[in-house]
């Protein structure tokens, strides 16, 4: 489906009721503020089902929340078949893989991040070192790579053959006015077939966010990504920006996002969600209210459908200190991953708008 027919096919969405998914809205307002220890919880984007399982097991074994979150997301960072995170991630315009990641640690209130990092499969681990072993929060580009090398990370080629072929195919088909020539169609999957987010994500991003709550009520989170596919070299999304792609406050809750990073940046989406939880909203309600803010700020007609609604998606995930959790998106139809005492599973995501079924 091309962009025009996709947009033309979308009809007016309908607001979703705030019917609770998970434990979020069942909990009294005081519960989130009492500091009462809840059971461990790990919540992540839908690509993180195994990640939340790993993180949860670490949390019940007594791990620090950031360490547990990193152990979970490392599964995807090291997976060459995942084209949205770490090793095997799709490259930038020039064919170079540049990774963004950040961690935030509730008990200490500290954070660390790297952006446009090249040559390291696990940027989340480098982000943790920025938090633990520097007086800074964010290192970028060559400085981040040199910092990683100083801590013993080898410089590796992150561009798998499969990712390179996808990029090459995209580059060759980009324009009929340049000197690149695509081979005859050979039945290989085209660009759209690889995009899990669906056709509404006209410039797809892949990412994993994971928020973790320990059994004793401490919070931590991590977001990691290869960012917008075929991005302008040096482009940094929301994932490594504290308050945008992730945020946690140990008194309140933890939140993070995946999807169009630019919209999470201008809305400070993750910080906004935590502030709404601080005001007493359950996680799902806080995320839906944040989505309303995101939509309110989306005033560029280029990023709007004919009815004014966003032509992209953003997804947020949150857990509060009492163990209530939730997830919400602008556009419905997605799921999120969560693990708690009931096991690891995918649940339906709340949303602002629903596409009319054809």
Residues belonging to the active site: 207
Identify any residues that bridge with 43 across adjacent strands, giving them in sequence order.
211, 338
Contact status: 214 vs ligand GLY (CB under 6 A) = no
Q: Which of 91, 197, 227, 283 lies at the binding interface for ligand GLY (CB under 6 A)?
A: 227
Identity of the residue, 58 or 205, whose beta carbon is nearer to ligand GLY in the bound complex? 205
State in angstroms the smallest separation of the CB of 262 from ligand GLY: 7
65-77 vs 123-133: helix crossing angle, rounded to 10: 150
State in angstroms the smallest separation of the CB of 85 from ligand GLY: 10
State in angstroms the smallest separation of the CB of 102 from ligand GLY: 11
The footprint of ligand GLY on this chain (CB under 6 A) covers a number of residues equal to 13
Identity of the residue, 122 or 205, whose beta carbon is nearer to ligand GLY in the bound complex? 205
Question: Taking CB under 6 A as the criterion, which residues in 170-209 touch ligand GLY?
Answer: 205, 207
Identity of the residue, 64 or 77, whose beta carbon is nearer to ligand GLY in the bound complex? 77
Identify any residues that bridge with 329 across adjacent strands, giving them in sequence order.
315, 351
Is 51 exposed, middle or buried, given 0-12, 13-18 or 19+ CB atoms closer than 10 A?
buried
Q: Which of 124, 239, 284, 311 lies at the binding interface for ligand GLY (CB under 6 A)?
A: 239
State in angstroms the smallest separation of the CB of 267 from ligand GLY: 13
Residue 185: CB partners within 8 Å, gap ≥ 6? none
Contact status: 48 vs ligand GLY (CB under 6 A) = no
Q: Which stretch binds ligand GLY (CB under 6 A): 75-83, 106-114, 225-233, 334-342?
A: 225-233
Q: Which of 92, 122, 258, 313 lies at the binding interface for ligand GLY (CB under 6 A)?
A: 258
Residue 285: CB partners within 8 Å, gap ≥ 6? 18, 24, 25, 276, 326
State in angstroms the smallest separation of the CB of 171 from ligand GLY: 20
H-helix segments, 307-357: none
| Dihedral sign for Cα atoms in the order 56, 115, 228, 190 | negative
Contact status: 244 vs ligand GLY (CB under 6 A) = no
129-137 contacts at long range (C-beta below 8 A, 24 or more positions apart): 131/66, 131/103, 131/105, 136/112, 137/111, 137/112, 137/113, 137/242
Identity of the residue, 22 or 257, whose beta carbon is nearer to ligand GLY in the bound complex? 257
Contact status: 44 vs ligand GLY (CB under 6 A) = no
Identity of the residue, 92 or 250, whose beta carbon is nearer to ligand GLY in the bound complex? 92
Residues 96, 111: Cα–Cα separation, whole Å: 27
Identify any residues that bridge with 42 across adjacent strands, giving them in sequence order.
212, 339
Residues 171, 191: Cα–Cα separation, whole Å: 11
Q: Interface with ligand GLY by CB under 6 A: which residues?
A: 205, 207, 225, 227-228, 237-239, 245, 258-261
């Amino acid at each position: 489906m091309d962009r025009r027919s996709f947009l033309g096919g979308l009809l007016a969405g309908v607001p979703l009721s705030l019917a609770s998914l998970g434990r979020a809205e069942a909990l009294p307002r005081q519960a989130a503020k009492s500091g009462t220890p809840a059971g461990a919880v790990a919540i992540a984007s839908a690509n993180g089902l195994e990640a939340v399982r790993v993180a949860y097991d670490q949390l019940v074994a007594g791990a620090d929340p950031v360490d547990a979150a990193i152990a979970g997301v490392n599964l995807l960072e090291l997976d060459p078949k995942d084209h949205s995170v770490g090793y095997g991630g799709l490259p930038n315009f020039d064919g170079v893989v540049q990774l963004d990641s950040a961690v935030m640690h509730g008990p200490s209130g500290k954070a660390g991040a790297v952006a446009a990092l090249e040559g390291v499969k696990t940027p989340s681990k480098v982000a943790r070192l920025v938090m633990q072993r520097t007086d800074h929060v964010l290192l970028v580009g060559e400085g981040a790579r040199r910092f990683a090398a100083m801590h013993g990370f080898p410089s590796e080629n992150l561009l798998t053959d499969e990712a390179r072929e996808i990029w090459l195919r995209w580059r060759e088909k980009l324009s009929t006015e340049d000197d690149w020539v695509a081979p005859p169609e050979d039945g290989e999957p085209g660009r759209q077939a690889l995009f899990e987010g669906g056709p509404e994500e006209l410039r797809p991003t892949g990412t994993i966010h994971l928020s973790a709550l320990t059994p004793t009520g401490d919070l931590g989170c991590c977001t990691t990504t290869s960012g917008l596919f075929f991005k302008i070299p040096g482009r940094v999304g929301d994932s490594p920006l504290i308050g945008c792609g992730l945020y946690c406050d140990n008194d309140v809750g933890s939140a993070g996002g995946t999807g169009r990073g630019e919209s999470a940046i201008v809305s400070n989406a993750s910080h906004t969600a935590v502030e709404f939880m601080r005001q007493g909203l359950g996680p799902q309600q806080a995320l839906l209210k944040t989505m309303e803010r995101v939509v309110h700020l989306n005033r560029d007609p280029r990023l709007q459908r004919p009815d004014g609604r966003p032509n992209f998606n953003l997804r947020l995930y949150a857990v509060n200190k009492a163990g209530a959790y939730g997830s919400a998106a602008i556009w419905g139809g997605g799921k999120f991953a969560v693990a708690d005492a009931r096991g690891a599973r995918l649940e339906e995501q709340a949303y602002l708008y629903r596409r009319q079924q054809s």
